[in-house]
Chains A and B, each alone.
Chain A
């Protein structure tokens, strides 16, 4: 009872039409495309051992690529294709969201359909095939009147497997910009909102089971020549698709799309921006959980209109600079580079979310460690943890070079868990984020970087080329610039990780605005 009284359940339900609708659309399109390609290929290859081997081999290889990686690979591939298409044919398409998700998922659906169709067709009794020829059927008539109907149960089993795989894997299309039930899961994991994680998993599972059962109904209908069952299954699938299409049709196409990467701070900031736009009478939707490799390109090509990035991230990862410059200079140069791409750097929010070496305050005091320079002599007997990318980033190379750091052991961890791990003494040092609220919660200390080996990471608001001259947008966001200090952001992030009813990104964004509003109120009165 109390479990369901949690306001996060109703928040989750409010997203359902959007997430479910998109999930069904991308899954149905992918499955349809997969069938359209796999079925003819399977039929053509049934009597050609070489072609069969090559097809099944390729499909198996695709299957071994992890779903997340397959989806992520399609984005740059399509981006390059879109650029070529624009250059050669003057025709541009969006490489973001729907298209790469459909293509990757369709590829994923091919193995079970190919394998089962080929197995089913080859499993037809040769005596029956000879009879089909003997009564005077052409090859085509034999295929459609005898072989396919007899192979149907095995084929349908493959199609059902493909449907379940596609619906499950579609949850991974969130990072490439395709809204799906995965939005619950990605947002939930990042903000430790287990209600969302659970809700996303359950809805995806229910959807997969429902589609599987409807397909089973069609299968038995065809097999038992029961028009009723076939029709019921068909109507069920049709109704599901129709029901999920209706709400998204109603959405206004002119709304601003606010992007967010895959961590809690980004969810809160995108919610805050969306709230400010709505308060200014503009319509806004959030596109959350985008991979950091995808989000900048999505902005550049206009698939999203606005998002918050960090100066050092763009400097090092997007533009591949390995030198580290002072804060103001780096921001200035970054602005110049962005202008060349018609991207507007609207301004800084006022805080930095930099990488920093973090350890428990007590331990640091005991050992007399205040800065990374002090840490270097203790490092060889210490272990260190960081997120999945840190050890391959230029900052780490810079730190090692500047301070001669070598640790006894290095571990990679989910960012949400590493603060608890360092607080509990499982590791000695972590590469944390300066704006993370958990630093205060676990009484950790951020070590100084006297040699400035870590570049500045000012949170900056970026606007897409097509919105460059949009004064209404600029005006709506102006009040945020320079108003969020590190203390405020840490507290907001801590609230977002609270795991209770007030921890939804919308609630935290409202709290944040109230706080900014107050400080502005003071500013005016003074």
Chain B
């Protein structure tokens, strides 16, 4: 018998502007424990809305969402958010908080003792590979984009959540930083046994990092599955999305032959 899904969307709908914009339209999707799911789509596809519905940053109009088996409508939204890690686009760090205060915010809200928070902050700085002595007391404006996003990841992990939601976490970074950060996070996902949902517009990133990819367009879920499942889906939009990474891979194969450089 398979393990029950940790996150389950069932026929979820959400519209804005009094029903004129259907941002999420009858989406059903499950994420198993330990799984890394990427949701791919263009702007206006409803992918970010779907993520926000999960921790009740916005409320669904219809359908149900269950987190760890519990319907989110029955949960206290504040308590719910404190047990789900959330990584915001370009960090979302509090500019008037130091790195340590940013990372320690959710434990502080949960009432952890100060000494325990401080120890946890050091542990997390090590985990996201930032020198604790150098960065602990810095402010967000003193960090590079990649460093800010590492702090954002550390903050999401601070209260030891089982689930991490990420909203285009690496979108604004330069390719090198983005690659390194993606790999580092995938390693953390494994190491900590997380269940991760990542929103991205970049199919290449999705394929490289995630176990499973879901494709959204105009609020609807078009396809989901492993990269191979997607390749076999037959949906023209999904095919189009897959063409870019495939073509890039082929050209790179030609331009950068594996044994040519050495």
Contact = CB atoms under 8 A, between A and B. Distances in A.
Interface string A98-119: 0000000000000000000000
Contact of A131 (B78, B94, B96, B110): B94
B94 A133 contact: no
Contact of B92 (A134, A136, A149): A134
Contacts of A137: 78, 105, 109
Interface in A118-148: 127-128, 130-138, 141, 145-146
A127 B92 contact: yes
A137 B155 CA distance: 14
Determine the interface band of chain A, counting residues with CB < 8 A from chain B: 10 to 19
A33 interface: no
A391 B156 CA distance: 77
A150 B92 CA distance: 14
A451 B228 CA distance: 116
A154 to B, nearest CB: 14
Contacts of B159: 136
Contacts of B88: 127, 130-131, 134
B231 to A, nearest CB: 34
A134 B96 contact: no
Given A127-B88, A127-B92, A130-B92, A141 B57 contact: no
B86 interface: yes
B109 A136 contact: yes
Given A134-B88, A135-B86, A128 B95 contact: yes
B95 A150 contact: yes
Nearest to B94: A146
A135 B103 CA distance: 10
Contact of B96 (A135, A136, A149): A149
B81 A133 contact: yes
B92 A131 contact: yes
B55 interface: yes
B82 interface: yes
B94 A134 contact: no
Nearest to B102: A135
A149 B94 CA distance: 10
B121 to A, nearest CB: 14
B184 to A, nearest CB: 21
Nearest to B90: A127
B94 A136 contact: no
B95 A136 contact: no
Contacts of A127: 88-90, 92
A474 B109 CA distance: 72
Contacts of A135: 81-82, 86, 105-106, 109, 155
Contacts of A146: 94, 96
A396 B157 CA distance: 85
Given A134-B81, A135-B81, A136-B81, A141 B109 contact: yes
B106 A136 contact: yes
A137 B81 CA distance: 9
Nearest to B139: A225
Contacts of A150: 95-96
A135 B83 CA distance: 9
A130 to B, nearest CB: 6
A127 B152 CA distance: 13
A136 B82 CA distance: 5
A149 B98 CA distance: 14
Interface string B95-117: 11000000001100110000000
B65 interface: no
Contact of B93 (A131, A136, A138, A149): A131
Contacts of A132: 94
A134 B82 CA distance: 8
A133 B55 CA distance: 10
A134 B86 contact: yes
Contacts of B93: 131
Interface string B68-96: 00000000001101100010111011111
A411 B157 CA distance: 79
A336 to B, nearest CB: 72
Most buried by B among A136, A137, A145, A150: A136
A130 B93 CA distance: 10
A128 B57 contact: no
A128 B155 CA distance: 14
B54 to A, nearest CB: 11
Contacts of B81: 133-136
A131 B81 CA distance: 11
Interface string A417-449: 000000000000000000000000000000000
B93 to A, nearest CB: 7
Given A128-B94, A130-B57, A150-B95, A136 B78 contact: yes
Nearest to A132: B94
Contacts of B89: 127
A68 to B, nearest CB: 42
A138 B78 contact: yes
Most buried by B among A131, A146, A150: A131
Interface string B197-223: 000000000000000000000000000
A350 to B, nearest CB: 72
Nearest to A223: B96
A262 B95 CA distance: 55
A150 B96 CA distance: 7
A135 B152 CA distance: 11
Contacts of B86: 134-135
A130 B167 CA distance: 12
Given A127-B88, A127-B89, A133 B96 contact: no
B75 to A, nearest CB: 12
Contacts of B105: 135, 137
A144 to B, nearest CB: 12
A127 B91 CA distance: 9
A133 B92 contact: no
A138 B106 CA distance: 11
A133 B92 CA distance: 11
8 contacts: A127-B88, A131-B88, A131-B92, A131-B93, A134-B86, A134-B92, A136-B109, A137-B78
Interface of A: 127-128, 130-138, 141, 145-146, 149-150
Given A130-B57, A132-B94, 7 more contacts: A127-B89, A127-B90, A128-B95, A130-B92, A131-B88, A135-B86, A136-B109
